[in-house]
A and B are shown apart, each in its own frame.
Chain A
Amino acid sequence: MKKDIVKIIISLILFVISLTISFNLPWINICLYILSYIIVRLRNSNKSS
């Protein structure tokens, strides 16, 4: 549970950064979104619904 919370927090930070800061190179934003997505998908108790 603790690891999941940490992963969600990291993912959330990346998401907020990408959402609020427009980098000169747009692919940086895209990479941050993808990274955020991958981290949150790595949760242990992942269930598909």
Chain B
Amino acid sequence: MSIATIGAFAIGEFPEAVAVMLFYQIGELFQDYAVDKSKKSIESLLNIKPDYANVKKNNEIIKVSPEEVNVGETIIVKPGERIPLDGTILNGSSMIDTSALTGESVPRSVKVQDEVLSGCINQNGLLEVKVTKKFKESTVSKMLELVQNASDKKAKTEKFITKFAKIYTPAVVLVAVMLAIIPSIILGSATQWIYRALSFLVVSCPCALVISIPLGFFGGIGKCAKEGVLIKGGNYLEALSKTNILVFDKTGTLTKGVFEVQNINPVNISKEELLELVAHAESYSNHPIANSIKKAYSKEINNSIISNVQELAGYGIEATVNEKNILVGNEKLMIKNDIKYVKSKEVGTVLYVAVNKEFAGTILISDEIKENTKTAINNLKKQYINKTIMLTGDKKEIAEDIAKKLEIDEVYSELLPDEKVKKVEELLSKKNKNKCLAFVGDGINDSPALAVSDLGIAMGKLGSDAAIEAADIVIMTDDLSKIETAIKISKKTMRIVKENIILSIAVKVAILILAALGISNMWHAVFADVGVSLLAVLNVVLGTFLKKAK
């Protein structure tokens, strides 16, 4: 740009020289504004870093840096303060604002024994929290690290533009010099050829591409972060826009990952009485099934009416409750005790109950499908996804039941973690090369599959650290509908990027041809460069920052 303007001064074209520089600087001003705005939207996420922690030591409260707090220490979080470290509530209840981490605008109610994440704001009550993770491993640190590293990983388009500019700019300067010298020597009228060369130089400037494309990706990542979806780089945003196959893990991803009583089928006894007897019989057990029964009963256990509790390994439990003999367990327990029972056809873990050696009914315990999973999958299939697949280590009948309820196209069950990876690799080899396959998971066992797929999406709230580390995208709310939002934003970002590439190249090529023919002048060149840059930046600003991608 400097060469072009100084050249214009040299040949006495003063208005053009000033106009090129003036409009170029106006364009730069708009670009600075857009970059600032985009940076701010990402930096607003970085403001979640807590400044201090109130540590409780010997009934004294000491204000220290969150980095200095150890696991097991107790911290106090006052109303209005940011929770500095991940932990479990020992005392107090409150409403916490999780929007900075999850994008969820409705405050969450928390009480004793609930887990709280660093970065959230305590809105009203005083909380006493037992620290469960060091600051470096806390949610807020992980988020900051992910966001800060996001712009390092460039998308293919972005990489191409950077490389292209490195070669293109010196090449264009060389061509302009040749255009000024060679025809002047052969045909004469040097001033006219220098003027054409200068126009060529201005129009060839790649500013519109170099600035608007990284800005587009930057804006897309920032927009996703606002929605509670962390994207670890522009390349993953590009891959997300091409995703047409979604592979899901079952437990923790499609289902809650927590066993709950789904159905009680009493025989010659009331539902309440059956649950009460079973809850008392199971009260000494810490097995997840026993815990789910106790949770469903939800009343206080009267220990004085329980006696002779025996855990029968591989069968269940035998106990005396209120002077009644209670047998709770699997079918084998009923057969062993010669109890005539009715075989349950329900899918899940079925507990058979006998009271005084008489069959008293069954209790169905199974994992529960997350509330909005079905809607999220249906919306994804309607708009962006051609095929949904479920991979699980669970039993065939349970897997097929869940898949049927969620209308998942293909299901593969009873898979070990390495078999999941093999299955993902097999699916990858079969898919269309121009499209992407994304794996959605949460557990440590999903990490290899997350790493091997084109795109790994992890559930950030329930997910294990290993899964979050291996994934390319992290959904902070564990809400599958966020995948739809992220795909929408990624497609919009790619559309803006493509529009800017086509606009810049088309206008520049047209003006270049006109310049070579001597039809266009420096004013057209100024529009082709600065004008197009301005339009491209405005396209990003309007598309990404102003309209809501919902």
Q: Do A and B bind each other?
A: yes
B9 cross-chain contacts in A, Cβ below 8 A: 34, 37
Chain A positions 20-49 with a Cβ under 8 Å from a chain B Cβ: 29-30, 33-34, 36-37, 40-41, 43, 45-49
Taken together as a complex, chains A and B put the C-alpha atoms of A11 and B207 apart, in Å, by 22
Stretch at the interface among B18-26, B406-414, B434-442: B18-26
Task: Kindly provide the distance from the CB of B90 to the nearest chain A CB, expressed in whole angstroms.
Answer: 48
Q: Does chain A have a CB within 8 A of B29?
A: yes
B14 touches A33 (CB 8 A): yes
Taken together as a complex, chains A and B put the C-alpha atoms of A18 and B16 apart, in Å, by 12
B25 touches A19 (CB 8 A): no
Taken together as a complex, chains A and B put the C-alpha atoms of A49 and B3 apart, in Å, by 10
Q: Does chain A have a CB within 8 A of B452?
A: no
Taken together as a complex, chains A and B put the C-alpha atoms of A29 and B13 apart, in Å, by 12
B14 cross-chain contacts in A, Cβ below 8 A: 18, 29-30, 33-34
A45 cross-chain contacts in B, Cβ below 8 A: 28, 32
Q: Does chain A have a CB within 8 A of B15?
A: yes
What interface size band does chain B fall in? 20 to 34
Taken together as a complex, chains A and B put the C-alpha atoms of A49 and B208 apart, in Å, by 11
B298 cross-chain contacts in A, Cβ below 8 A: none
Taken together as a complex, chains A and B put the C-alpha atoms of A47 and B165 apart, in Å, by 15
A43 cross-chain contacts in B, Cβ below 8 A: 25, 28-29
A19 cross-chain contacts in B, Cβ below 8 A: 15
Q: Does chain A have a CB within 8 A of B470?
A: no
B18 touches A37 (CB 8 A): yes
Contact pattern, A 5-27, Cβ under 8 Å of B = 1, otherwise 0: 10010011001001100000000
B25 touches A8 (CB 8 A): yes
Contact pattern, B 311-330, Cβ under 8 Å of A = 1, otherwise 0: 00000000000000000000
Task: Kindly provide the distance from the CB of B165 to the nearest chain A CB, expressed in whole angstroms.
Answer: 9
Chain B positions 33-82 with a Cβ under 8 Å from a chain A Cβ: 33, 36
Q: List the interface of chain A (C-beta within 8 A of B).
A: 1, 4-5, 8, 11-12, 15, 18-19, 29-30, 33-34, 36-37, 40-41, 43, 45-49
Nearest first, the 8 A-B pairs at minimum CB distance are A33-B14, A37-B18, A33-B18, A40-B25, A49-B207, A36-B18, A40-B22, A15-B18
Known: A15-B22, A18-B18, A33-B18. 16 other contacts (CB 8 A): A8-B22, A11-B25, A12-B22, A15-B19, A18-B14, A29-B14, A33-B14, A34-B9, A36-B22, A37-B5, A40-B18, A40-B25, A41-B25, A46-B25, A48-B1, A49-B210
Subset of 11 A-B contacts with CB under 8 Å = A1-B29, A1-B33, A4-B32, A8-B25, A8-B29, A18-B15, A33-B17, A33-B18, A37-B9, A37-B18, A43-B28
